[in-house]
Amino acid sequence: MHAHRTPAVPPADDSHRVRYLHLVAAARAAALRPTSEQQVADVVRVTVDDEVDTTTFRAIVTDVSRDVLR
């Protein structure tokens, strides 16, 4: 009798996860209406919770700040 083996699940695409986190951070920031980039950074920090590197974190903060701090 052969052992039943399931194929390995491929790892989740990180770019989709980063895009999702970016969208969630943007929605949270828009709802909170921050008045400074530091407040936006705090929202993003809570949202991404160490799931992205520093460069990606800064990129998300910059992008979200551009939208919500008009």
Task: Round to whole Å and give the CA distance between 19 and 3.
Answer: 39
CA neighbor of 48 nearest in space, from 30, 22, 29, 66: 22
pLDDT in tens, 1-53: 556 665 554 455 688 999 999 999 999 999 999 999 999 999 999 999 889 99
Q: Which sequence spans correspond to the domains of the chain?
A: 20-68
Please report, for residues 2, 5, 7, 30, the alpha-carbon distance to residue 56 in angstroms, rounded to integers and kept in the order given. 46, 37, 32, 19
- pTM of the predicted model, to two decimals? 0.78
Determine the Cα–Cα distance for residues 68 and 35; give it in Å rounded to an integer: 8
Tokens of 1: 């009798």
